Structure 1
Amino acid sequence: MSDWQQTTLGDLQTRVHRKVAVPPQGSRASMSDWRQVSLAEVVTRVTTKNVDGTNQNVLTVSAEHGLISQESFFTKKVASKDTSGYYIVGPGQFVYNKSTSKSAAYGTVARNLSNAPGIVSPLYLVFEAKDGAALPEYLELALNSNQFFGSLAGMLREGARSHGLLNVRLKEFYAATVTLPPASVQERIVKVIGALDAQITALDAEAEALDEVYRGFLLSLGARYGEVKISEVVSRAFAGGTPSRSNSQFYGGDIPWLKSGEVENDSIVTASEFITEAGLQGSSAKMVPPGATVVAMYGQGDTKGRAGFVDAPISTNQAVLALVPDESLVLPRFLLHAVRSKTDDLRHRAVGSSQPNLSKGLVVTQTIPMPDSLADQKQALAAIDSVRANQAATRAEADRLREARPTLLSSLLDRTIDIESTELEV
């Protein structure tokens, strides 16, 4: 694990400020060197179209991934057959996607970081930095900041938001203002955010590596131990149900109601939807006790076959099978990992033509690896849970840094963090 654990914005500010250097007299940029300029002052719109249709490198803008191949993002081609009206995006040029999302309330600006030109839908805006106006790397950060989007929001007329797509006029977009510090400060901001992004990437890679270690542990269970049917080591196995949607008295209570898409979690304590005691009593929904393993029996994509562990009382719908362990035969958390070691086998056993599903009978007759003694289970469980705990901590740290990134960038742009008089230690 890295030494970036439990990071807060204050920690990030401390890392930026840790070494304070006294700059030579007159070297520090003055307040007047920082400007708020309209986007039109630093960029030029690009309207070159794919008139001959020869460029088939269709790109899309993602808030998470930037400017990427459309086929990679959607796993299929969704562009029009006729791409002659698409804009060509050269290396280093920018694209603004007006589509909104939870993480991008005013859309996303991305830059073509490849050496090859691509094409984008005419719904996007394409532009490039004017020579010497701003560092492209800095401009990409500034145009995805709260400051820029706040300025853009102030430009929009009422009713500009519609069906997840901002109806931004050209005049409004290019009139929005961007913070423009001196070039040396732009470079320092790029370095700070770049270091933060590199740390997030490293943590993501570490979490993925730990996931592979975990999968290796699961495979080793089958190689080391004999197998038993799930029904041989559980005291109860039952699915839940769905209270009638027509009865408003059944929903909005304080009983969490778990659905199959929410199953894959090592510590399930709540759900996205809640039912009332009347809803529980008036349906086949059932309460699952802490210590049970739950299995998704059907759902979209790879949902079926997923397993999770219940840490607090919870109810479930009919797509979730609860497995209550016989604790004289199996440790509760070992049952979770043993079932997960057979996820692929469970999915292959699903039946049905249009959407194959599992059933209680198919799940409880599945064989799982099982050491002869609880002591052997405890030993294996200690190693597995250690890996999972490290993986969870690594992912949580990456998430904390992602959450802190926008505020850190804003603090650099509004000079809450005085980056000019520090030696960087990010």
Structure 2
Amino acid sequence: MKFSNFKILKFWDYYSFNNKSEIYSNYPLVELSDVLTQRKDSIKIDDTKLYKRCRVKVRGQGIVLRDEVLGKEIKTKKQYLCKEDDFLVAEIDAKVGGYGIVPKELINAIVSSHYFLFDIDEDKLNPEYLSILTKCEGFSKQVKATGSTNYAAIRPSHVLEYLIPLPRLKEQEKIINQYNKRIALSEKQINKAIQLEIEIENYLFEALGIKKAVDKINIKGLHLVSLSQLEKWGIDFIEDISNKSTLFDEYKINEISQISSGGTPLRSRKEYYSNGDIPWVKTGELENEIIYDSEEKITIEGLNNSSAKLYEKDSLIIAMYGATIGKTAKLGVSASTNQACAVLFNIDNDVVLTDFLWEYLQIQKDSFKKLAYGSAQPNLNAGIISNYKVPIPPIDKQKEITNHILNLKNKIKDLKTQSEKNRNLSITEFENEIFKPV
């Protein structure tokens, strides 16, 4: 049994009652009411004017533009204007980190009464300091503790009661600078990784003697093209013949591997999926990676009683529709897949190395997309992929290319790991400086 003084109990819930929302710091703790003032003045929407509307991203990811609309499209005519460096809180989403500082580009953006705007006393509190601080667990746990019923919304009075550690302004600036140094290093590393990804594509095209195709050919007047070079019937698909390898012969995919579509899942037989141990790969899992597992599994009985097949390790899977359309992954284990994917298996390694083929297909995503048909939901099919041409150098050259690309990919992986580490360290070091451990 535990007793608490009712006078000091702000919120009636288990979280607060057990002091899980308390914070500790070497700096003075102040309520936000000491440094924030709610701004309640509203405007009336003019039907003839264009307005920016902003939205608050959850998990402390900031404030972004939602859209720009004419006033006549806004039903609620009473709205509130944002100023730069306002602290904006979403009434409903606050408990999941729905708050942040309004950026310069959203000055005069509008929000409804389901958002709360607060002016910051910048003589006491640096807006950037508050922006970083609100990403910390020491702040967010207070928001989570707010309220005691199933009603998830918070009120402005709750916000003003939250505590923050408040160093002097000069100390805030020093802490912000240390944080930003980590972020700058993280961004430098991720930008270097992006440049190396571009370098992989450029290197592969150069090594194969390919000139990258332009997005769209501006055809004026009469234009002739060889039927043998026409990949798809339509003016947007009359291929620039320079988008061919000038160094090596090309093979259709069905000349260097077997290809099939995945199978149709038997959803009527739940037992085929509830205790399965064979990975059942879906398009959302194809991110140009090696697949060792999947969210869903199928039993061998389910596989035998469906149109699906079991594909061996090192088979390649290409997404034929959805957000990942055109992306190619490699199986790191034996697995199966649904009909939304095409699978290349029994690849003729006397002609083409699997890893070379995989590297080449990974940079063909945009080309595959252009060959997709349908307007609402563009699709590929196994026939289109079967006839797709791949330039094939001698095996020794393929090894040279894949080894070089692997080296670049290892550097990219290291850079991304370092970038993520520094981004995490930036907030960890900030929080360790500001919030004293319990």
TM-score by length of 2: 0.77
Q: 1:229 deviation in Å?
A: 0.4
Q: Does 1:68 align with 2:68?
A: no
1:288 to partner: Cα distance: 2.3
Determine whether 1:361 maps to 2:383.
yes
Task: Decide whether aligned partners of structure 1 residues 248 and 97 sit closer, same or farther in structure 2, where only a CA change above 3 A counts.
Answer: same
Percent identity reads 26
Match of 1:382 in 2: 403
Residue in 2 that maps onto 1:238: 260
In the alignment, is the contact (CA less than 8 A) between 2:56 and 2:98 conserved in 1? Answer: no
Give the superposition deviation at 1:269: 1.4
Over aligned residues, Cα RMSD in angstroms?
2.8
1:55 to partner: Cα distance: 6.4
How do residues 307-326 of structure 1 correspond to structure 2 at under 5 angstroms?
307-324=328-345, 325-326=347-348
- Which residue of the partner structure matches residue 86 of structure 1? 79
Q: 1:189 aligns with which of 175, 190, 195?
A: 175
Q: How big is the shift at 1:376? A: 0.9
Q: Which moved more, 1:129-138 or 1:105-114?
A: 105-114
Q: Residue 78 and residue 292 in structure 1: after superposition, are their counterparts in 2 closer, same or farther (change >3 A)?
A: farther
Matched, 1:122 2:108: no
SS of the counterpart of 1:288? Answer: coil
Is residue 263 of structure 1 aligned with residue 289 of structure 2? no
Equivalent residues in 2 for 1:241-320, closer than 5 Å: 241-252=263-274, 253-300=276-323, 303-320=324-341
Q: Distance in 2 between matches of 1:197 and 1:276?
A: 46
Change (3 A) 1:32 1:265: closer
8 Å Cα contact 2:50-2:71 kept in structure 1: no
Q: Secondary structure at the match of 2:293?
A: coil
Check 1:262–1:246 CA distance in 2 against 1; reply closer, same or farther (3 A cut).
Answer: same
Task: Return the index of the structure with the highest Cα Rg.
Answer: 2
Amino acid at match of 2:194: E
Quote the Cα distance in structure 2 between the aligned partners of 1:33 and 1:380: 56
Find the aligned partners of 1:146 and 1:280 in 2 and give their Cα distance.
46
Write the letter of the residue equivalent to 1:370.
I
Gapped regions of structure 2 (runs ≥ 5): 1-23, 211-244
Give the TM-score of the pair, scaled to structure 1: 0.79
In the alignment, the residues of structure 2 paired with residue 343 and residue 180 of structure 1 have an alpha-carbon distance, to the nearest angstrom, of 50
Contact 2:97 2:140 in 1 (8 A): yes
Amino acid at match of 1:361: G
The AA in structure 2 aligned to 1:170 is P
Q: Aligned residue for 1:420?
A: none
CA 1:157 to 1:173, structure 2 compared with 1: closer, same or farther past 3 Å? farther
Name structure 1 gaps, 5 residues minimum.
1-30, 162-166, 418-426
Q: Is the CA contact (8 Å cut-off) linking 1:143 and 1:178 kept in structure 2?
A: no
Number of residue-to-residue matches in the alignment: 372
Q: Which residue of 2 aligns with 1:8?
A: none
- Amino acid of the structure 1 residue aligned with 2:54: L
Question: What is the rounded CA distance, in whole Å, between the counterparts of 1:108 and 1:225 in structure 2?
Answer: 56
Q: 1:312-366 CA distances to partner (integer Å, 9 max, x unpaired)?
A: 2222111111112211111111011222343333222223354231111111111
Number of the residue aligned with 1:399:
420
Question: 2:308 and 2:25 mapped to 1: Cα distance?
Answer: 66
Q: Which of 330, 335, 341 is residue 357 of structure 2 equivalent to?
A: 335
Q: Which has the bigger relative contact order, CA under 8 A and spacing at least 6?
A: 1
1:46 — aligned with what?
A: 39
Report if the CA contact (8 A) 1:349-1:358 is conserved: yes
**Residue of 175, 180, 193 corresponding to 2:166:** 180
Change (3 A) 1:343 1:218: farther
Post-superposition offset of 1:51: 2.3
Letter in 1 for 2:162: A
**One of 28, 31, 41 as aligned partner of 1:35:** 28
What letter matches 1:179 in structure 2?
Answer: P
User: In the alignment, is the contact (CA less than 8 A) between 2:30 and 2:165 conserved in 1?
Assistant: yes
Counterparts of 2:26 and 2:344, CA distance in 1: 66
Flag the 1:43–1:285 CA change in 2: closer, same or farther, 3 A. same
CA contact (8 A) 2:136 2:427 kept: yes
Aligned-partner SS, 2:390: strand
Give the aligned partner of residue 204 of structure 1: 190
- Residue equivalent to 2:142: 151
